[in-house]
Structure 1
Amino acid sequence: MKLPSALEILVARQAVDIDYNLPPPDLTTLPAGSLFETWRPHIHVLPPHGQIGDPCAHYNDPATGLFHVGFLHNGTGISSVFTDDLVTYRDVNPDGGYIIVAGGPNDPLAVFDGSVIPDGIYGLPTLLYTSVTYLPIHWTLPYVPGSETQSLAVTFDGGHNFDKLPVPPVIPAPPAGIDATAFRDPYVFQNRQLDQAVDSVPDTWYAAISGGQQEVGPGVFLYRNQDPSFMDWEYIGEWWQEPANTTWGDGTWAKRWGYNFETGNAFSLDEEGYNVEGSTFMTVGVEGAYAPIEPQVTSFHAMLWAAGDVSATDSGEALFTPNMAGVLDWGRAAYAAAGKVLPHTSQASFNSGAPDRFITYVWLTGDVFGSVTGFPAEQQGWQNTLLLPRELKLQKIHNVVDNDLVHETGSWRVAKHGDEQQCIELETLGIEIARETYEAATSTPSFEEPPRELQGANIIPFEQSPASKFFVLEAQISFPQSARDSDVQSGFQILASDLESTTIYYQFSNESIVIDRQNTSAATQTTPGIDNVTEAGHLRLFDISEHCSKEKCEDHGHWEQDKSNCKPGSHEAKIETLNLTIVGDNSVLEVYANSRFALATWARPWYANSTEIRFFHNGESEVSFHNIVVHDGLYDAYPDRET
């Protein structure tokens, strides 16, 4: 399918007058490009027009301090934008032109994902990428040796072009004896724990290549740079391997490992952000069957994360062993995350006072892989987007009551048992909107909604609602202990009118944040291919007590000297407050919670007046809404673009 050009989009927008106060027609009957602005976001990374694919090839340029954000573009090559503040972006090349395309001796058919060594060959940004010589490639098909190799390219002009080195692939094939499912998406990184485990020189560069083995399971192959020229990469083992289609725990908190890994990133975090000596994490895209009954194959994809221990075998091969795992984004269309270290010396970090950070971008596909057809892509003139930049860190959860809720194989681990505490401290992956992006999105005019306490079933409009479909809603929701034994559903309806609405709520029966999209868009009644399936992701709200220490327990009369701790159940435990940040950027909807949860999806309301926000409560138990703020309107992330 050919998407319209920029000129065709401009002509169509001028020629067609669409009334968004009237019911929608069959959108596929409209001219190409006529829906360009209808659902297009304003603050997300996407090219001027056309299709955006996997995020990749990010880097901070040491020479300028500018952060380059790359992505596959139109299935042809890699394009890029740059930013000095993580708020506004500028195209590296005019009209979103490519920084590298297929067509060389190593990559006659395609250029897949790669990553950049900022200070590489000649001290210049150097791209290690997957060069493709055979298609199609899929984990369900027999793997053709040599179809995916890893090649090098260097930019001599500040990132406008990455020139391919006139040498063969530096990693020409999967490890010997491996019947691969895939061998792609090299990710270059440094890791102090790995240096020590495999006896490398400090600050060695490693390359994690994603894939797996047929009849075995998904995995990540690890290579070590041996040469300042980056031409010699030594294989040091299948760093991470999971049995096919198994789960972390029972699968509740991290879905399934599937049959093939893609876009694996490795990085080290502490409580502040990136730290080469911190805890080792990985994010990984998962392909494969969701149902445990084999050999069922689906289009299931998932974007997961894991933290783990780094070690080596007796023969010196590197090992990554997860000790907690979770979901980076619970959206069914959220996939292929790629991140990069953003140092404190970058322009964005220097200006905001941020430390070294790991910033990741997640790809939001058009809908769900392979399951939706007929969406009016030609009429829209663009497809897909990257989600907002996210800061990842090691997140602490303090003052957690030591009860059955914490003793499960989940997306957290016990960090500390205090000698004089009944409560414990948990660790997990922290996920938040990058601080500069968040600050800009919440610096627009705002209004507060008075607190509410609801008991009966209610849908109550806000006293004031946003003027447009571009907004940030922040709120806290508190639940009584009795909610754990109820089927309470509480949250908000957004993008609402008499004819449309999207409902976002927390549901205790399965500890989930749910986005009900069944009534999101009137266009689903006239146009095929607009997905409106309900989405959900798991978030456990723990029991929290502010009276954990001996001193606080004594103050409240709960100290038991013989047990040297607080009497179990006697201190005033409360269910953790649900802290919500909901970003609506036209059709792109992102929900963040408690600095450790993200769920992104599409919401495509048709009517112009579908901007109302309402309280939602199903009447089970009771709920308290407080600290409710709406930031009305967003900003334009592309001041230099004409469209």
Structure 2
Amino acid sequence: MSQPRYDSICPDQTGRGSNPNGLGHPRFMMRKATSFMTLGLASLSIVTAQDASALPTVLTTEIIDRLRNNSLFNRWRPTYHFTSPAGWLNDPCGMMYDPTEDTYHLHYQWHPNHVFWGNITWGHATSKDLVTWTDVGGWEGDQAQSLATGPNPTSRNESYYGLGIFSGSAQPYNISGEQDGTLIAFYTSVGQLPTNWALPYIPGTETQSIAISNDGGKTWEQYEDNPIMVDPPEGWNITGWRDPFVEPWPEMDALLGQSEPHWYMVLGSGIKGEGGGGRIPFYSAPQSNLTDWTFLGSLWEPEMNGTLGSLLETGTYGFNFEVSNFFSLTDEDNQVHYYTLMGTEGGNLTWHPRPQWGLWNEGYVTKRENGSAEFMPISGGAIDSGLLYAVTSFNDTKNNRRVQWGWANEEHNGYSALQQGYQGAMAIPREMYVIKTNDLINPDGALTSKGNNRVVEYGNGTLTAYTLGARALPDVVKGLHDGAEGQAINVTQTWTTTLPAGNGSSHMHLKATLSNFTGPAGVTIAQSPGREEQTVIWYSPDNYTINVDRSRSSSIAQFANYTMIGYFYPYTFSNGTQESLHMDIFVDGSLVEILVNDRFWLTTRIYPARTDSTGFGIWVDHNSTVQVADMYMWDIVTNVFPERPVNSSSELFFDSAEETNNYLWWPGN
């Protein structure tokens, strides 16, 4: 469970939710317990969500400041990415494939009828193909909740009283490890708030629990003996203990020499003080009893705020881990590779201005004398160099692949949140796999350092590099292209200057191949006809970085506009040629995903003020050149929630002091 509420909403780290609009702000409906009173709205409004077509083509702060709740609901909203019906969304949870119903499930952290974090529950949607989705229970109000909580829950699944249901995972099994149509969800129950790695940890804050569904996920019930895990590891002065990632794992059974099948769990955690840092506690349970968990140890003990290699290339471990994963992938030679994923908090901000990193590590795994597994990192990097966080995965048994989901927060700095009426989306699901590249050379020595690649050197001077790959699911991309004819853009030449190449839309997919860089060069997106607005995505061969320059992405100054930076090292082959950069750029309203060669990923946000900021082109720095080839563009018209109306906004509430412990638990809105 990622915790934006204390880093971004409450900068003083006290956990007291700020209320920037003031108690009883006229844009909200105040609710006390189960009673409601409507407050005046019209005085601040010039347009409603229903007549949003009346909005001007160019927005200004003066216009936005006068708008009513939800009136910008569709202005920057993604349409071909997974979103909640409305309100606040964060971590993906409980994703699985159920073979008994041939159905995919995705849950998510949700605060319906509110635009900021608070009273966190699980929303739920299902799919047959990972392209189009259906809200379980319906899209209106809070009906898509699967595990609901709060002081006075009113949803159809109202048995989950408490302060929140944090992240977790799910499996299509019963608690005896049998596939009989039962679904189980493992999640973190919350008993104390606020919680944050920088605050003293109160015993009982987090415990681990199970929810069970006997009707294909339509309804859920708590396991009668919850919680199934009460105490964190003995002797740990912990920063947190949450987000159970649970799977059967035959390869780990074999490595540990288990006499019967076991399941395995990792949690996000950390240890405070000297010698501390982020930790991944590792547990096992016999498959026949998935309520009986044994602590095996910490996978490894990374240094507090340390790095595996260079900070730019491998990121920082920070002070606490969240949403941790531990799994294996098999390469083309049937060799097993072991990986961890973790969200890290509070680390170095030199190259990454956001206080949260999403990281991956590959490591050797051996059996300790006490029977546990020890993980020794050998390579790693950012699972996304932008804002994607809480990245987690599941085993797609239907297609024998590991699929990754991640949460894309907003970057409007809270400005226009009420007018939009929602926050958050999921990235396009990505398949993770092992990339093996042969016949490489190492002209500058960068491949032999501990970084993104595990390298095998040969006597003839060549190398083989292994690294973690992730690609947007090809079947999902194909489904998104339905109804959109790809346009081939005639740009095949060496470019020496910046020029427009075409006009797309606010919901498009752009592909381009770039090579032979003599200096910084790349592409532009979201460009207005007069270039008043544009976003530039460019590669620098001098320091091996991909940069996303948002300094002119919007004429509205309140939105984040800093340049995002990530590390990408192109391979050089023994014949002296360097690989080209194959860029996939997905633009969906404000959400932008950039994928390069399946080895670089950067997710960001842009909020153009103009509706005509839809152009794209080639960008070349002064005295630079670049070869461009194979540029294609698709205008994506697919609506991945076809059963929702175009405007699925909901009424926004402001929670009273009684419900929020005088705004200590969440800010109310």
Q: TM-score range by the shorter chain?
A: 0.7 to 0.9
In 1, distance between residues paired with 2:634 and 2:384?
Answer: 23
| Cα separation, partners in 2 of 1:582 and 1:376, compared to 1, 3 Å | same
SS in 2 for 1:625: strand
Separation in 1 of the partners of 2:244 and 2:636? Answer: 39
Match of 2:356 in 1: 301
- Name the SS for the 1:315 alignment partner: coil
Aligned counterpart, 1:559: none
The one-letter code matched in structure 2 to 1:117 is Q
Deviations for 1:532-576, whole angstroms, at most 9, x for unmatched residues? 11111110012124xxxxxxxxxxxxxxxxxxxxxxxxxx31121
Cα shift readout 1:265-320 (whole Å, capped 9, x = no counterpart): 122112479x9x8311111100013169xxxx996100000111112222223211
Over 3 Å counting, the alpha-carbon distance change for 1:107 and 1:508 in structure 2 is: farther
RMSD, aligned α-carbons: 2.6
Distance 1:236 1:540 in 2: 37
Could you say which residue in structure 2 is the equivalent of 1:145?
A: 203
Contact in 2 for aligned 1:24/1:606 (Cα 8 Å): no
Q: Counterpart of 1:252 in 2: which secondary structure?
A: helix
Query: Which of 166, 178, 190 pairs up with 1:112?
Result: 166
- Percent of aligned pairs sharing the same letter: 27
Q: 1:622 to 1:31 in 2, by over 3 A?
A: same
Q: Which AA in structure 2 matches 1:311?
A: T
Q: Which residue of 2 aligns with 1:87?
A: 131
1:322-401 correspondence runs (5 A): 322-331=377-386, 333-344=387-398, 355-367=399-411, 373-401=413-441
Deviations 1:313-335 (Å, cap 9, x if unpaired)? 2222321111111111111x221
Offset of 1:438 from its aligned partner?
1.5
In 1, Cα distance between the equivalents of 2:251 and 2:59? 61
2:49 partner letter = R
Shift of 1:248: 0.8
Q: Within 1, Cα distance between the matches of 2:194 and 2:60?
A: 42
SS at match of 1:225: strand
Kindly state the Cα deviation for residue 259 of structure 1 after the two structures are TM-superposed: 0.4
1:4 is displaced (CA, Å) by 7.4
Does residue 410 in structure 1 map to residue 439 in structure 2?
A: no
Of 32, 35, 50, 1:14 maps to 50
Distance 1:595 1:373, change over 3 A: closer
What's the TM-score once normalised by structure 1's chain length? 0.85
What residue identity is the alignment partner of 2:520?
Q
- Aligned partner of 1:313 in structure 2 is 368
2:565 aligned with 1:574: no
SS across alignment from 2:446: coil
The whole-number CA distance in structure 2 between the counterparts of 1:414 and 1:537 is 21
Matched, 1:221 2:273: no
Aligned equivalent of 2:614:
611
The answer on whether the counterparts of 2:260 and 2:286 sit within 8 Å (CA) in structure 1 is: no
Structure 1: how far apart are the matches of 2:610 and 2:310? 42
Partner secondary structure for residue 517 of structure 1:
strand
2:103 is the alignment partner of 1:66? yes
Give distance in 2, aligned partners of 1:106 and 1:113.
14
Instruction: Determine the C-alpha separation between the residues in 2 that align with 1:601 and 1:126.
Output: 33
Q: Which residue of 2 aligns with 1:557?
A: none
Contact 1:430 1:596 survives alignment (8 Å):
yes
- Retained in 2: the 8 A contact 1:106–1:151? no
CA distance in 1, matches of 2:525, 2:478: 22
Matching of residue 234 in structure 1 with residue 294 in structure 2: yes
What amino acid maps onto 2:90 in structure 1? G
Residue 507 of structure 1 is matched in structure 2 by: 540
Q: Unaligned stretches of 5+ in structure 1? A: 345-354, 546-571
1:612-639 CA distance string (max 9 Å, x none): 1111101334210011111123411111
Give unpaired runs (5+ residues) of structure 2. Answer: 1-18, 20-24, 30-37, 112-117, 151-157, 648-669
Q: 5 Å matches for 1:17-36?
A: 17-21=54-58, 25-36=62-73
Taking the aligned partners of 2:310 and 2:189, their CA distance within structure 1 comes to 37
- Which residue number corresponds to residue 319 of structure 2? 259
Q: What is the match of residue 525 of structure 2?
A: 494
Residue range with higher mean Cα deviation, 155-164 or 102-111: 102-111
Partner of 1:160: 218
Q: Structure 2: how far apart are the matches of 1:120 and 1:424?
A: 47
Could you tell me how far apart the structure 2 residues matched to 1:317 and 1:391 are?
29
Q: Deviations for 1:553-605, whole angstroms, at most 9, x for unmatched residues?
A: xxxxxxxxxxxxxxxxxxx3112111111111121100000111110000111
**Amino acid in structure 2 at the alignment position of 1:232:** D
What's 1:428 paired with? 467
Seen in structure 2, the aligned counterparts of structure 1 residues 15 and 81 have a Cα distance that, compared at 3 Å, is: same
Q: How big is the shift at 1:22?
A: 6.3
The answer on whether the counterparts of 1:31 and 1:379 sit within 8 Å (CA) in structure 2 is yes
Q: How many Å apart are 1:399 and its aligned residue?
A: 2.6
Selected match of 1:125 from 174, 183, 188: 183
CA distance in 2, matches of 1:199, 1:520: 55
Q: CA deviation at 1:357?
A: 0.8
- Aligned letter for 1:406? L
Describe the shift of the 1:227–1:465 C-alpha distance in structure 2 as closer, same or farther (beyond 3 A): closer
Q: Kindly tell me: are residues 325 and 4 of structure 1, through their superposed partners in 2, closer, same or farther at Cα, counting changes over 3 Å? A: farther
Give the structure 2 partner of residue 566 of structure 1.
none
Q: Distance in 1 between matches of 2:587 and 2:332?
A: 27
- After superposition, the Cα gap between the structure-2 partners of 1:201 and 1:479, relative to the gap in structure 1 and judged at 3 Å, is farther
Please report how far the alpha carbon of residue 26 of structure 1 lies from its aligned counterpart in structure 2 after TM superposition: 4.3
Change (3 A) 1:4 1:474: farther
Report how many residues are paired: 580
Where 2:503 maps in the other structure, the secondary structure is coil
Q: Distance in 2 between matches of 1:106 and 1:448?
A: 53
Deviations 1:204-261 (A, max 9, x none): 2111011011121110111111362312101111123211010011222111100000
CA distance in 1, matches of 2:353, 2:539: 28
Check conservation: 2:261, 2:286, Cα contact below 8 A: no
Cross-structure match for 1:558: none
- Which deviates more from structure 2 when the two are superposed, residues 231-240 or residues 18-27? 18-27
Contact 2:361 2:381 survives alignment (8 Å):
yes
Structure 1 residue 509: deviation in Å?
A: 2.0
Q: Which runs of 4+ in 1 moved over 4 A?
A: 1-5, 21-24, 103-107
Aligned residues of 2:261 and 2:287 also touching (Cα < 8 A): no
Measured in 1, the distance between the counterparts of 2:307 and 2:369 equals 27
CA distance in structure 2 between the partners assigned to 1:299 and 1:509 by the alignment: 24
1:450 corresponds in structure 2 to: 490
Q: Which residue of 2 aligns with 1:594?
A: 597
Are the equivalent residues in 2 in contact too, given 1:289–1:298 (CA < 8 A)?
no
Kindly tell me: are residues 22 and 326 of structure 1, through their superposed partners in 2, closer, same or farther at Cα, counting changes over 3 Å? closer
Aligned residue identity for 1:433:
A
Q: Do 1:4 and 1:33's aligned partners in 2 also have CA atoms closer than 8 Å?
A: no
Is the counterpart of residue 181 in structure 1 residue 239 in structure 2?
yes
When residues 489 and 158 of structure 1 are mapped into structure 2, their CA distance, relative to the original with a 3 A threshold, is same
1:456-481 per-position Cα deviation (integer Å, ceiling 9, x unaligned): 4x21111x321x2111111111116x
Alignment of 1:614-633 (within 5 A): 614-633=617-636
* Alpha-carbon distance change, 141 to 400 in structure 1, aligned in 2, over 3 angstroms: same
- Partner AA of 1:133 in structure 2: G
Query: How much has 1:455 moved relative to structure 2?
Result: 5.6
Contact 1:405 1:542 survives alignment (8 Å): no
Secondary structure (helix, strand or coil) at the match of 1:54 reads strand
Would you say the 8 A contact 1:194–1:310 is kept in 2? no
Matched, 1:522 2:561: no
What is the match of residue 642 of structure 2?
639
Give the AA of the match of 1:68: H
Q: Give me the whole-angstrom Cα distance separating, in 1, the residues matched to 2:430 and 2:81.
A: 12
User: Kindly tell me: are residues 621 and 373 of structure 1, through their superposed partners in 2, closer, same or farther at Cα, counting changes over 3 Å?
Assistant: closer
C-alpha distance in 1 between matches for 2:209 and 2:372:
23
